[in-house]
Structure 1
Amino acid sequence: MGLLLNSIIFIIAAFTGYLMHELGFFYKIKVVRDKVPKMTIAGIRFKGPYQNTGKPFMELEKKITEANIEVKYVGLYFDQVQNVPADKLRSFVGAIIKNPNEETIKKLKELELEIIEIEENNESIQAYYPITTMKILESFSFMCAPMRVYPAMTKYFNQNPEVLKSGYDDFEGKNIPCLEIYDRVAGNIQFILQNKNAKEVLPDFK
């Protein structure tokens, strides 16, 4: 009986450890300063809890798939959850267009998608987080990632106050979102926090 119980406990522990590994709990997050490339993004504005962006993402993915356009999906998040009521949180559910030529842009506009530009920027704080290889756990992976990455960025600023004061301490009410780029091919999520000198995005989105 004791041997059976020990075996069951071992199996449960091993399975739990495997799930934690798949969700990135053992992944060491490295926060770095890096450039932001220019991006053309098609997408949909959304206002409400960030965890509710799944439905508009599915709607966007359906349109992009039907249009047969090569993209990487991205979320733009404008507000800090601790400072803004959940129903007022602003986000832009988007897709980065890999080949933003005139024909592609026209097709996307016909799908009633809004086109925005992220300008190239020489300064940002970035970090990566792995996406699980298990499709059934993907939504949990997307939830776990910000729970680990943003505290890591906060820790980075605490350890490097000069970086914080160089343009990340006060955005002066500007619409400068944090970007989360979901790259299933590379198997990771790229987090990009721009500084206050970046060009505003959707300045009319209040």
Structure 2
Amino acid sequence: MAEKLMEKSCIEFADALAAKVSVPGGGGAAAYVGALGVALGSMTANFTTGKKKYAEYEDDIQRILAEGDVIRARLIELVFEDAEAFEPLSKAYGIPKEDPTRGEVLEAATKNALAAPLEMMRQIARAIELLEELDVKGSRMLISDVACGAVMSAAAMRAAALNVFINTKSLLDRDFAAQVEAEADELLAYVPRAKSVADEITDSIRG
């Protein structure tokens, strides 16, 4: 199922999320929402490029378009990677507790399962940086879309973080867990940055 997740229509993906199946779940949803958030930034950049009014930002807009495409593609990949990592974790939890290999297998599977949501957070942080730029350099006609992208990116970041922390909580390797959580906490600092973009734009729209 994992390899076909991103071949689904929007309706099918939502139905799959709602179904009594383990994947897709919160991690896949976080990655997809993050991809939609950065896509809104790309749309804004596409409507900005080539406009005389924003000619001074043209090089930056082209860079934003290129970076946005990379981030969006990576987040879509992470929908699949998150789902793919769940199967071995699920199997590890199914190992009988008296099996001496259970702890080692479960630990390895848990570390593997947190890799995708942590990478989501890294990519979403990059997306938020682009949206901050677009708040200044993007077409004013699309400014509400920049705000929407920021709101979605903030939500995706928090959702991805939850999928990191639910895994680090059960790790026996507390040094590794602390290292991962420290990086996640640093990346969560992008949430107020995204909120600031959305709030500033909301205030400007509402006057």
TM-score interval for Structure 1 and Structure 2 normalised by the shorter chain? under 0.3
Q: Which has the higher strand share?
A: 1
Q: Which has the higher helix share?
A: 2
Q: TM-score, normalised by structure 1?
A: 0.25
